[in-house]
Amino acid sequence: MEPLIKVYGLKKYFNMSEGIFKKRIVEIRAVDGIDLTINRGEVFGMVGESGCGKTTFGKTLIRLLDPTSGHVLFEAPMDLIERLEGMDDGGKWELVKEYDVARFKGKQLKALRRKMQIVYQDPRTSLNPRMLIKDIIGEPLKVQGLAKGEELRRRVVDMLYKIGLTEKHMYRYPHELSGGQRQRVAIARALITEPEFVVLDEPTSAVDVSVRAQLLKLFKDFQSKLGLTYLFISHDLSVVEALSDRVAVMYLGKVVELAQTYELFKNPMHPYTKALFSAIPIPDPTVKRERIILKGEVPSPVNPPSGCRFHPRCPHAKEICKEKEPHLLEVRPGHFVACHLYGG
């Protein structure tokens, strides 16, 4: 397996002013120190309750947002990564700066847009309502200077057929299409530049169940044909299970568990993951699973709890959980958990 993306200590904080005079600045720690690897050709799933930082992570990864700190290496050669990880001095990031998306500027950043793309949750808000479908799909090619004139038209038509629409949709506006068709257009727009990596941010949550299955099939087909790598974000666990090779579970800006999909669903270890998964309906009525109800609300990312940020809601919390932050440890092969129950 070859890493496509290596994330080191990624943080994204938002500053917001609060109070009647907007004088108090609060820091929202949406993404608060994430380390992970996304391998070339895999579907990397990400789950977690609303507000835990999934979208912010996805957008920061591809530099639609500027990170507060941390590094995102994209297409860095393996030998360089190995050298980097073997070093501990402060200057080591200089070694990989040409691959560090977090440091890209100007031309480099523009060129990156061709290679890293995103499909948002709701095509009603992500597609410009005043643009024709042909222009929406062709725009990234135009902006990147990759095609114009007849060539541009040919590629747009080609793409329309690939996503299951036809030439007759070219001169329509987004509102003239169904929800599923609009999402297909958003997918076409993201894929027309033939990116390496695509963030799918809850791409099927605004469509109904029958359309969902079609879109999932489309993602699969594109992946196998184009060798794409996806970050697949969703709060729908069954969809994540169906599509992902590995899954990370997020809680308040952190990854608390990460494993192969099969392993994670068979053997969830973190108390948060267990609670999250206990809400999945089991199709077999003879199998009973205890539904774990968590106490309290998800705390605010402005002042995350000390130690393990899950401790105020955790049924197993001990003294150490309030004091010391657990780190992701490999508890079983390829199965990482950040929890003091497992020595983290």
Ligand X SMILES: Nc1ncnc2c1ncn2[C@@H]1O[C@H](COP(=O)(O)OP(=O)(O)O)[C@@H](O)[C@H]1O
Q: Cβ 126 to ligand X, closest distance in Å?
A: 14
Site for ligand X in 56-85 (CB under 6 A): 56
Handedness of CA 285, 50, 197, 126 (dihedral sign): positive
* Residue written as token pair 């002042």: 303
Q: Cβ 55 to Mg ion, closest distance in Å?
A: 3
> Is there binding between residue 52 and ligand X (CB under 6 A)?
yes
Site for ligand X in 7-26 (CB under 6 A): 14, 16
Choose from Mg ion, ligand X, none: what does 301 bind? Cβ within 5-8 Å by kind. Answer: ligand X
The three-class DSSP label of residue 260 is strand
Let me know if 232 is exposed, middle or buried by CB neighbors in 10 A (0-12, 13-18, 19+): buried
Q: Cβ 10 to ligand X, closest distance in Å?
A: 13
Choose from Mg ion, ligand X, none: what does 137 bind? Cβ within 5-8 Å by kind. Answer: none
> Is there binding between residue 30 and ligand X (CB under 6 A)?
yes
Q: Residue 199 and residue 55: Cα distance in Å, rounded?
A: 9
Question: Got the DSSP string for 166-229?
Answer: -GGGTT--GGGS-HHHHHHHHHHHHHTT--SEEEEESTTTTS-HHHHHHHHHHHHHHHHHHT-E
Among 19, 21, 22, 50, binds ligand X (CB under 6 A): 50
> Is there binding between residue 301 and ligand X (CB under 6 A)?
yes
Six-digit token pair at 33?
């120190």
Q: For residue 333, give Cα distances in angstroms to 260, 263, 267.
A: 10, 10, 12
Among the listed ranges 3-11, 48-56, 86-94, 263-271, the one in contact with ligand X (CB under 6 A) is 48-56
Let me know if 82 is exposed, middle or buried by CB neighbors in 10 A (0-12, 13-18, 19+): exposed
Longest Cα–Cα distance in the chain? 68
> Is there binding between residue 244 and Mg ion (CB under 5 A)?
no
Choose from ligand X, Mg ion, none: what does 16 bind? Cβ within 5-8 Å by kind. Answer: ligand X
Choose from Mg ion, ligand X, none: what does 14 bind? Cβ within 5-8 Å by kind. Answer: ligand X
How many residues of this chain bind Mg ion (CB under 5 A)? 2
Q: Cβ 54 to ligand X, closest distance in Å?
A: 3
Among the listed ranges 50-58, 90-98, 99-107, 237-245, the one in contact with ligand X (CB under 6 A) is 50-58
Length of the chain: 344
> Is there binding between residue 51 and ligand X (CB under 6 A)?
yes
Backbone angles phi and psi of 292, in degrees to 5: -95, 115
Q: By C-beta, is 41 or 51 nearer to ligand X?
A: 51
Q: By C-beta, is 48 or 268 nearer to ligand X?
A: 48
How many residues of this chain bind ligand X (CB under 6 A)? 13
CB atoms under 10 Å from CB of 237, counted, come to 18
Choose from Mg ion, ligand X, none: what does 56 bind? Cβ within 5-8 Å by kind. Answer: ligand X
Q: By C-beta, is 55 or 117 nearer to Mg ion?
A: 55
* 38 to 57: interface string for Mg ion, x by CB under 5 A: ----------------xx--
Closest CA to 321 of 344, 300, 304, 299: 344
Among the listed ranges 2-10, 49-57, 146-154, 207-215, the one in contact with ligand X (CB under 6 A) is 49-57
The three-class DSSP label of residue 46 is strand
Q: How remote is the C-alpha of 286 from its chain's centroid?
A: 35
- β-sheet with 116-119: strand ranges across: 116-119, 197-201, 229-233, 43-47, 246-251, 254-260, 335-337, 329-332
Among 53, 140, 180, 307, binds ligand X (CB under 6 A): 53
Choose from ligand X, Mg ion, none: what does 299 bind? Cβ within 5-8 Å by kind. Answer: none
- Note the residues at the interface with Mg ion (CB under 5 A): 54-55
- Note the residues at the interface with ligand X (CB under 6 A): 14, 16, 28, 30, 48, 50-56, 301
